[in-house]
Amino acid sequence: MRIGVPREAAADQRLVAATPKTVEQLIKLGYTVAVENDAGARASITDQAYLDAGAELVESSQVWQSDIVITVDAPDLAAVASMNKGATLISRLYPDDAPDFVVAAKEQGITALNLMSVPRISRAQALDVLSSMSNVSGYRGIIEAAEAYAGMFAGQVTAAGSTPPARVFVIGAGVAGLAALGAAGSLGADVRAYDVRSDVAEQIESMGATFVRVDAAAQESADGYASELTDEQEAATMRVYAAESAAADVVVSTALIRGKAPITITAEMVANMKPGSVIVDLAASSGGNCELTEPGKKIVTDNGVTIIGYTDLPGRMPKHTSQLYGTNIVNLLKLMTPEKDGELAVDLEDVIVRGITVTHESSVLWPPPPVQVSAAPAVAPASNPGTQATPEPAVSSPSQNKGRGRLVSAAIAALLLVAAITFSAPAFAMHFTVFVLAVIIGFYVINGVSHALHTPLMAQTNAISGIILVGALLQLGSTDWLVTALAFAAATVASINIFGGFLVTGRMLEMFRKDA
């Protein structure tokens, strides 16, 4: 089958749906690739680069005659009508806002796959376009803020004096928010962040930022998004936004609830901000989180606050954004081309494929069925106020019985340990005391390490296991059978830990290794 890559119709769209690197990957899947002339010109990708990657260059009318057409933005109705019957379109579609497009795709018998509705499950992360675009938006938002801010992000200590670091406050710790706080932190700013989901605090703190805590916080809903706030929660968060924005030099807002942008920064909050401070509204394309945001524009308020409401932040970095977008499509086609024979298989039993399919075989399959992506327990149904619950007899649960059993076992073990120390040689008591102290210290040291550092920590444990292995090998020649047995057991366990650690580390590094 042939994949067509047209030049984007919108004059301000600088992205392209495939790059030379992703073209090579598509060809490895068995497809042929046809690229429209100058399709990548706005992303600084030459036609020759596509030819070198194995693609063929065609005219606009020919590219739409391909078996599969991949685009960044949804094509117009004329382009849909020019596609072959039964062809496949892969793009960022908005079916709810474009019913005419859905009708046209259905009548043409097109299989329309919407990259904006990828289910939020672990298996689909590699083809999640929203995450890719949000990541770029968060990074680029900080770049725009650094350009508009009148000072430096990093604190400076010079012979002429010192300057404090810029204070950056990030609202929302989704993909865009984490990318923004990471970029701001790398520039040396003092970063603080808040999210209505309290369970993301660890992610924020693992990146070196300070999580602003609030008593009232919302929870993640079953579909992976933040749930609606109650009046009490909303009042608490607005107090946080007011206090933090007044003290911040840069505010980055990324809040979205089910695709809608709630107001997080009111006009009154903007009036209380310092002159020269900057607001980057990453939700501007959905209306904006700031009450004064003008989508697509950068404005300066009467009190000197710059509000950036650009809606094309990913397009301002077209080279790498196109690569990320193209890779998302490659990963989707890997899923839908299991035999790597260049034949697309539309398996509607697959939750990912079903979730992104808008039309197929002249049928409308939108909206898709809901997907349960959260492991949060279901809320227990409320009891009927008209009935009175009958009290159940107190019965010990299995967990309670198990807890008592553990307590008894621990007490017996403690008594045996005291007896062993009492009637053993003094040297044993000294060595055992050192052992117990080492266990306690090791437990608290390892337990206090952030999850973000567990991979380098594995290298340290490998080194410790290596020391244990050397010590065990030295004792294997002992004439005491007990010492020899313990040394053999220690050598075996340490070897398993060392080789297992290297195996796990190797597999983790493979995740970050670029394709050859």
Tens digit of pLDDT for each residue in 97-153?
Answer: 999 999 999 999 999 999 999 998 989 999 999 999 999 999 999 999 999 998 999
Tokens of 23: 């073209």
70 and 203, same structural domain? no
Please indicate whether residue 2 is annotated as part of the active site: no
User: Is 389 a domain residue?
Assistant: no
Residue 392 has pLDDT above 50, yes or no: no
CA atoms lying within 13 Å on the CB side of residue 79: 21
User: Is 261 a domain residue?
Assistant: yes
- Write down the mean pLDDT value for the chain: 87
CATH of the domain at 189: 3.40.50.720
Catalytic residue, from 82, 225, 285, 354: name it: 225
Res 406: pLDDT: 74
Res 371: pLDDT: 78
Q: Which of 170-184, 382-396, 485-499 has the lowest average pLDDT?
A: 382-396
173 and 54, same structural domain? no
Res 480: pLDDT: 85
- Determine the average pLDDT of the residues in 3-9: 97
DSSP state, 5?
Answer: E
d(CA 516, CA 510): 12
341 and 290, same structural domain? no
Contact between 343 and 337 under an 8 Å Cβ cutoff? The reply is yes
Please indicate whether residue 125 is annotated as part of the active site: yes
pLDDT more than 90, % of the chain: 62
User: Is 323 a domain residue?
Assistant: no
d(CA 53, CA 441): 56
Residue 512 has pLDDT above 70, yes or no: no
- Determine the average pLDDT of the residues in 290-300: 97
316 class by beta-carbon count within 10 Å (0-12 exposed, 13-18 middle, 19+ buried): middle
374 class by beta-carbon count within 10 Å (0-12 exposed, 13-18 middle, 19+ buried): middle
User: Is 332 a domain residue?
Assistant: no
Number of domains in the chain: 3
Range of the domain at 90: 2-117+337-364
d(CA 330, CA 127): 8
Single residue among 280, 314, 348 that ends a domain in this structure:
314
The reply to whether the predicted model has a pTM over 0.75 is no
Banded model confidence at residue 516, pLDDT cuts 50, 70, 90: very low
Looking at the chain, how many residues does it have? 516
Res 161: pLDDT: 87
164 and 102, same structural domain? no
DSSP per residue, 118-182? ---SGGGGGG-HHHHHHHHHHHHHHHHHHHHSSS-SS-EEETTEEEPPPEEEEE--SHHHHHHHH
Residue 259 has pLDDT above 50, yes or no: yes
11 and 61, same structural domain? yes
472 and 430, same structural domain? yes
Catalytic residue, from 128, 190, 195, 281: name it: 128
306 and 159, same structural domain? yes
279 class by beta-carbon count within 10 Å (0-12 exposed, 13-18 middle, 19+ buried): buried
Banded model confidence at residue 475, pLDDT cuts 50, 70, 90: confident
DSSP state, 304?
Answer: S
Do strands 156-158 and 161-163 pair parallel, antiparallel, or not at all (unpaired)?
A: antiparallel
DSSP state, 58?
Answer: E
73 and 156, same structural domain? no
- Residue 222 makes CB contacts below 8 A (sequence gap 6+) with 372, 373, 374, 376
Residue 158 has pLDDT above 80, yes or no: yes
User: Is 319 a domain residue?
Assistant: no
Residue 220 has pLDDT above 70, yes or no: no
CA atoms lying within 13 Å on the CB side of residue 229: 20
Catalytic residue, from 125, 156, 409, 450: name it: 125
User: Is 470 a domain residue?
Assistant: yes
Please indicate whether residue 128 is annotated as part of the active site: yes
491 and 349, same structural domain? no
179 and 33, same structural domain? no
* Highest mean pLDDT pick, 26-35, 215-224, 365-374: 26-35
Res 386: pLDDT: 44
Residue 288 has pLDDT above 90, yes or no: yes
Residue 387 has pLDDT above 60, yes or no: no
Residue 395 has pLDDT above 70, yes or no: no
Catalytic residue, from 91, 131, 134, 203: name it: 131
Q: Which residue has the higher pLDDT, 498 or 195?
A: 195
Banded model confidence at residue 455, pLDDT cuts 50, 70, 90: low
- Determine the average pLDDT of the residues in 184-205: 92
Res 394: pLDDT: 47
Residue 368 has pLDDT above 90, yes or no: yes
Q: Which of 135-144, 361-370, 495-504 has the lowest average pLDDT?
A: 495-504
Sign of CA dihedral 147, 149, 151, 155: negative
- Determine the average pLDDT of the residues in 480-509: 84
pLDDT one-digit tens code per residue, 44-61: 999 999 999 999 999 999
- Residue 131 makes CB contacts below 8 A (sequence gap 6+) with 125, 175
3-class secondary-structure state, position 278: strand
Please indicate whether residue 231 is annotated as part of the active site: no
290 and 197, same structural domain? yes
Residue type, 379: V
86 and 35, same structural domain? yes
Phi, psi of 336 (to 5 degrees): -95, 5
User: Is 358 a domain residue?
Assistant: yes
Single residue among 314, 346, 380 that ends a domain in this structure:
314
Do strands 56-58 and 68-73 pair parallel, antiparallel, or not at all (unpaired)?
A: unpaired
Q: Which residue has the higher pLDDT, 461 or 194?
A: 194
Catalytic residue, from 65, 92, 120, 475: name it: 120
Of the candidates 346, 360, 327, 365, which has an alpha carbon nearest to the alpha carbon of residue 70?
A: 327
